[in-house]
Amino acid sequence: MLGFFGIDFVQSLILRPSPDVWAAHDDEEDEEDLLKEDACKVPCGQALDCTAPPPQKLTVDPIVVVPSPPLKPKAVDEVPFPTTLTEEDEEIINSVVAGKTPSYSLESKLGDCKRAAAIRREALQRITSKSLSGLPLEGFDYESILGQCCEMPVGYVQIPVGIAGPLLLDGKEYSVPMATTEGCLVASTNRGCKAIHLCGGATSVLLRDAMTRAPVVRFGTAKRAAQLKLYLEDPANFEVVSTAFNKSSRFGRLQNIKCALAGKNLYMRFSCGTGDAMGMNMVSKGVQNVLDFVRNDFPDMDVIGISGNYCSDKKPAAVNWIEGRGKSVVCEAIIKGDVVRKVLKTNVNTLVELNMLKNLTGSAMAGALGGFNAHASNIVSAIYIATGQDPAQNVESSHCITMMEPLNGGEDLHVSVTMPSIEVGTVGGGTQLASQSACLNLLGVKGACRETPGANARLLATIVAGSVLAGELSLMSAIAAGQLVQSHMQYNRANKDVAKLISGAGIDRSFLPRRPADDRERNFAVIGP
């Protein structure tokens, strides 16, 4: 950890307050009540037994050494909830185990979501003879996920949430929540945020905001399919088609239709504004309205599927890379040369060359589709999980091209990320869960924006892009400095006792900063803030 962050960072955690520029700023809303409501009643990892087994004792004999009887393996504790099963609970569990009562029907039969989860969990343990003692059950609102987030729950998985920032974006500071189990990720993004902040912040531009859905229909002939294509793409027909589409929602507004023909099969890609929702369901309802409407003039149309993969959702696709899907955002910053040297521990020319050979040429050699970046998906996934987005949409949302160019005669660095398919929402799905809602509240984008519908979701998309910019800047610098592997190894295997790190116990003093020359200085604090 010391070699990875640098002694200054470790000391700052223990011995001194953060600089003013990194001081936490007050939110407009009081988060204390939110956090209390979301607090887990069972301490994290309570059910896990992490105690190391005692060392094996040896009985020493003048002639031979005989080991003591082998230790019996410790039985895994059973689930603490419910502590006592009622006679009715036992009857229901036995019925589920016997296959007489479907597990999925417990919520509707019992009218108690938490009790249903506990009974389903106990039945599962008896059926499989496997303990779920490490999977928390308490401290979660199971009613909040009924019918919208997860079916047949038996508990929930804990993912730590770290904070990177403040990210200075478009003149405002954001503390970015990132849910991840990957060491170095938050620290690296945090260092990128610092570099951006010290140089006046980043600027973002939202180019497009439209979710898509593309049904596939079939006709008897290709000519007939082409007639529907011409009809839908004719500007003279757009008003009547959009009227049919828009009646499904107050916020869903049809923007355009792009069609592609494959023989007698027609793929129609509808693009629609969706307000603060991510909008997949909203667009699907609008598309169904249009299909019902055009069937009056095309009764021979056979609807094969409401989604024909020309959308394209949760899959890498050139159409999303070129046309965009969701929010299309460009984010840029100018990093001063002295910040590149002192904070990022490298230099402008090295970064520019690495970006060209790795993110551009290397990705082209690999035949990448939208992957002209170092690790955009890392940051996107972490923010998505923290804020209740659909993690699977990380696939197209991580489409990103990272560009780096020298400025002012090579003294400074211009860095940008272009992300055409950021798919986010601040209402619906997992955004309404307590933990995820708290993370959205931290960013100031919780719920729907009443004044300007869609503004919260658009702001969240720019924050995602700004965080990706920070992550790209820091990781590329670590690679340029030649310290990526060493940093991960040192950080992920670091001594957990920070006090010992500070005191220098067991530390190779050669890693401590001594105002070395520029080339040697790169060895220190590679990814620390």
The owner of tokens 């994290």 is 44
CA–CA–CA angle 295, 297, 303 (5° rounding):
25
Instruction: List CB contacts of 354: < 8 A, sequence separation 6 or more.
Output: 476, 479, 480
Instruction: For 134, list phi and psi in degrees, rounded to 5.
Output: -85, -5
Two tokens, residue 295: 């069937």
Of the candidates 38, 89, 170, 182, the residue annotated as catalytic is: 182
The amino acid that residue 382 corresponds to is: A
Among this protein's residues, is 414 annotated catalytic?
no
3-state class (DSSP) for residue 261: strand
The amino acid that residue 359 corresponds to is: N
Instruction: For 136, list phi and psi in degrees, rounded to 5.
Output: -65, 145
Among this protein's residues, is 314 annotated catalytic?
yes
Alpha carbon distance 199, 205 (integer Å):
19
Question: Among residues 337, 400, 378, 333, which one has the least CA distance to residue 475?
Answer: 378
**DSSP state string for 330-376:** EEEEEE-HHHHHHTSSS-HHHHHHHHIIIIIIIHHHTT-SSEESSSH
Of the candidates 390, 405, 414, 521, the residue annotated as catalytic is: 390
Q: Is 506 left (phi over 0), alpha (psi -120 to 50) or beta?
A: left
Two tokens, residue 31: 């988060």
CA–CA–CA angle 260, 264, 267 (5° rounding):
30
**DSSP state string for 420-479:** EEE---SBSGGGGSHHHHHHHHHHT--S--SSSTTHHHHHHHHHHHHHHHHHHHHHHHHH
Q: Which residues are catalytic?
A: 182, 314, 390, 488
